Amino acid sequence: MALLQISEPGQSPDPHQRRIAVGIDLGTTHSLVAAVRNGVAECLPDAQGRVLLPSVVRYLESGGRQIGYDAAAAQSADARNTIASVKRFMGRGLGDVAQAGKLPYDFVSGADGDGAQGMVSLATVAGNKSPVEVSAEILATLRFRAEDTFDADLYGAVITVPAYFDDAQRQATKDAARLAGIHLLRLINEPTAAAIAYGLDNASEGVYAVYDLGGGTFDISILRLTRGVFEVIATGGDSALGGDDYDAALADWVLGQLGLEAVTPADKSAVRLAARACKEALTATESVAFCARLAGADVHFDVNRSDFEAATADLTARSMAAVRRALRDARLARDEVQGVVMVGGSTRMPQVQRAVEEFFGKPPLTNLNPDEVVALGAAVQANQLAGNNTAGDLLLLDVIPLSLGIETMGGLVERIVSRNETIPTAKAQDFTTYKDGQTALAIHVVQGERDLVQDCRSLARFELRGIPPMAAGAARIRVTFTVDADGLLSVSAREQGSGVEARIDVKPSYGLSDDQIARMLQDGFATAAQDMKARAVVEARVDADRMLIATQGALDADGDLLSPREREDIDALMVALRHLRDSDDAARIEAATEALAKGTEAFAAQRMNRGIQQALAGKNVQTL
């Protein structure tokens, strides 16, 4: 009897073959790669035994480049060509880079020549380099490290991104992976990856908060862990808050105390590096000297931990405000959270750990290395997606950070996929035409929490053409939003009767400001009542317009049915509605619309009688 070699669903076709899949934490300050070996996730070291790779790339005049520790050592000497913290520029336009004047780089607009829309680039001796290119250098270095470790080609990688990364930043990360020659298995959110590592390591179950303060971004996620199912209930954060901001605040405070200013690229880089070293030293000691070479002179200034905490108190408060919003979104009280996982090197700061402990009333979990935990969780997910045998089944339920919808008449937003919706997901909603004989429909895809399009972010526009001409409201157009496991969006529109269809993969522009996502949510809470009022006015105006168009069409077709007095009454009602239509009083517009509808009821009945008479003309009972 011949033996058939049949693999289990999702497993490698050859049971003796193991696909090499890794998890990569592409971080603002450091990056690292991890893989599951002998059933355990572990970070992969370089030839010197170091698992952390500084996220720094230096471009040389000869066309070469240095990556990691060698590049980091040259930050002060060659600040302009040594790019650090490039993750903060991913998917960002020239006008969106926070503290651009305090950074030692020469920023230029994107290739499309529009700084507001094109992704920012950095001028170096090797030419202009985009954040995607710089990130690709870091990813390629980690890829080579993994391939050297296993002495085999890499099958694929799971790369982590902050939960609050928008579509533009996620797309930029995917582009960087492709440029580095990496088969991307999935993008997953950093807090979710950390929860995977903790859940499998500690066999934890229940509701957990993941507080992730990295070098460039802050995320807070509320997750429910149940028997291998990781469900993200709510997510929040601040994409413009990280360890770099603590460094900048400390540097500004010290320079202010000394009455000095960093002007040259070398000065800016030296001050930034000195502030970071001072911050890290203050984690273990109460006082440390701030040492930097500024304007050709050595600067020494003693900094106490209390000074540092006072200078950065507003940053810590910003993170805790995001924590409160995430709990409110999850509809949970703080005492319902069983544990808090700390992720990111910046969570080592004593004031951060103290703020989290005071808020939740329990000490946070710190038994896994906060620098490594994200990569370890990503490695577990990569191992499963590659079809290798895993210790247990793992189901990952992530969410999108902001609502998605389309523009409807009057500039209103119709939400189709709500924020904190589990992904991957597909949602559909039916719409119709506004005018008689309409054969095309313009679809505007937007992202945000506000009710008016002008207050949300535009993602894409496309048109559905070839709709058969019909009366207004007769067409049935189904708009479907599909969000994949990476959090990226595609939209399709289909007219149900004729089958005509159009679709678009949303590839957003790279021009969203660093704090826009957080501001969208804050605006959504702060202006809810105002938005409801504005929406009511717009809806009342749309209904008024429809009533006026329909009434005018009826008068043009069958106005002869009316007596002069009846016509005058209807005209007066239309004039009154047109006069009120542009007011900001929804109730008065609705009342005028209702008055016109009531005033034309008799006319509508006369038109119906005429239609019936015309339909029956020349027919006898037997024919009918």
> What one-character-per-residue DSSP string does 112-149 give?
TS-TTTSBPEEEETTEEE-HHHHHHHHHHHHHHHHHHH
User: How far is it, in rounded angstroms, from Cα 352 to Cα 279?
Assistant: 13
Rounded to an integer, what distance in angstroms lies between the CA atom of residue 105 and that of residue 241? 20
The letter for the amino acid at 194 is: A
31, exposed or middle or buried, with CB in 10 Å at 0-12, 13-18, 19+?
buried
Name beta bridge partners: 289: 302
Same domain (yes/no): 500, 546: no
> What pLDDT sits at residue 398?
65
Q: Is 96 a catalytic residue?
A: no
152 part of a folded domain: yes
Let me know: does 292 contact 302? Beta carbons within 8 Å.
no
- Residue closest to 46 by CA, chosen among 151, 159, 180, 141: 141
| DSSP type of residue 455 | G
| CATH number, residue 131 | 3.30.420.40
Single-letter amino acid, residue 58: R
Residue where one domain finishes, among candidates 398, 416, 434: 398
- Verify that 324 and 278 share a domain, yes or no: no
Quick check: is 8 in a domain? no
The answer as to whether 224 is a domain residue is yes
Q: Which residue has the higher pLDDT, 364 or 619?
A: 364
DSSP code of 523?
A: H
What kind and span of H or E run contains 318? Answer: helix 313-330
If asked whether residues 455 and 563 sit together in one domain, one would say no
Give the pLDDT of residue 64.
82
Catalytic residue of the set 133, 167, 190, 531? 190
Q: Long-range CB contacts (< 8 A, 24+ apart) of 388-396?
A: 388/11, 388/12, 388/18, 388/19, 388/21, 388/36, 389/11, 390/36, 391/39, 391/200, 392/200, 392/228, 393/228, 394/196, 394/200, 394/228, 394/230, 395/228, 395/229, 395/230, 396/188, 396/192, 396/196, 396/230
Q: Are residues 116 and 218 in the same domain?
A: yes
pLDDT at res. 10: 46
- Apex CA 613: angle with CA 610 and CA 617, to 5°? 140
**Which CATH number covers residue 255?**
3.90.640.10
Whether the Cβ atoms of residue 573 and residue 599 lie closer than 8 Å to each other? yes
Output the pTM of the full model: 0.64
pLDDT digits (tens, 9 = 90+) for 79-119: 889 998 888 888 877 766 656 666 788 888 764 433 335 67
Structural domain includes residue 2: no
Q: In a 10 Å sphere around its CB, with 0-12 CB exposed, 13-18 middle and 19+ buried, how is residue 568 labelled?
A: exposed
- 445/499 Cα distance (integer angstroms): 21
Residue 513: its pLDDT value, please?
Answer: 44
**Are 473 and 542 in a shared domain?**
no
Residue with tokens 């019909």: 470
Q: Does 598 participate in catalysis according to the annotation?
A: no
281 vs 285: CA distance, rounded Å: 6
Q: Which of 137, 212, 219, 307 is catalytic?
A: 212
- Average pLDDT of the segment spanning 478-496: 80
- Closest by CA to 330, choosing from 259, 408, 233, is 233
The set of residues, in sequence order, having a beta carbon less than 8 Å from that of 37 and lying 6+ positions away, is none
**Residues 223 and 372 placed together within one structural domain of the fold:** yes
Among 123-127, 402-406, 559-563, 586-590, which is the least confidently predicted range?
A: 402-406
Question: What CA–CA distance (Å, rounded) separates 268 from 575?
Answer: 66
In this structure, is residue 1 part of a structural domain? no
**102 among known catalytic residues:** no
Inside any domain, residue 13 = no
Domain boundary among the residues 368, 383, 398 is at 398
Query: In this structure, are 293 and 376 located in the same domain?
Result: no
Q: Please tell me what DSSP assigns to residue 348.
A: G
Looking at the structure, do residues 184 and 92 belong to the same domain, yes or no?
Answer: yes
Q: pLDDT at position 202, please?
A: 56
Q: In a 3-state reduction of DSSP, which class is residue 540? A: helix
Instruction: Using the predicted structure, report yes or no on whether residue 265 has a pLDDT greater than 90.
Output: no
pLDDT of residue 517: 46
Identity (one letter) of the amino acid at 26? L
Distance CA 74, CA 236 (A): 36
pLDDT at 366: 78
- Residues 323-342, mean pLDDT to the nearest whole number: 90
CB 198 within 8 A of CB 223: no
Considering the candidates 25, 167, 371, 543, report the single residue annotated as catalytic.
25
Higher pLDDT, 356 or 530: 356
CATH at residue 509: 2.60.34.10
Distance of alpha carbon 373 from alpha carbon 34, whole angstroms: 10
Q: How many domains does the chain have?
A: 4
CA distance 120 to 90: 8
178 and 52 within one domain: yes
Same domain assignment for residues 238 and 261: no
Strand-pair partners of 180: none
Looking at 329, 364, 398, the residue that finishes a domain is 398
pLDDT tens-digit readout, 233-248:
888 888 778 888 999 8
Q: What is the pLDDT of residues 372-420, one digit of tens each?
A: 989 999 999 899 888 875 555 555 666 676 788 888 877 888 888 877 6
Domain that residue 567 falls in: 529-616
Structural domain contains residue 599:
yes
Selecting among 46, 78, 87, 495, the annotated active-site residue is 87
Look up the CATH number of the domain holding residue 572. Answer: 1.20.1270.10
Is 531 annotated as catalytic?
Answer: no
42, 162: one domain: yes
Asked if residue 292 lies in contact with residue 299, where contact means CB atoms within 8 angstroms, the answer is: yes
The amino acid at 548: L
The segment with the largest mean pLDDT, out of 169-183, 307-321, 503-517, is: 307-321
Average pLDDT, the chain: 81
Token pair recorded at residue 230: 């990781």
The CB density around residue 15, as the number of other CB atoms within 10 Å, is 12
Q: In degrees rounded to 5, what are phi and psi of residue 269?
A: -70, -40
156 pLDDT tier (thresholds 50, 70, 90): very high
Mean pLDDT of all residues in 313-337: 91
Indicate the burial class of 297 (C-beta count within 10 angstroms; 0-12, 13-18, 19 or more): exposed
- Do 138 and 284 belong together in one domain? no
Specify if 522 maps to a domain.
Answer: no
Q: Which amino acid is at 622?
A: Q
Q: Per DSSP, which regions of 401-500 are E strands? A: 404-408, 412-417, 422-423, 425-431, 440-447, 457-465, 477-483, 489-495
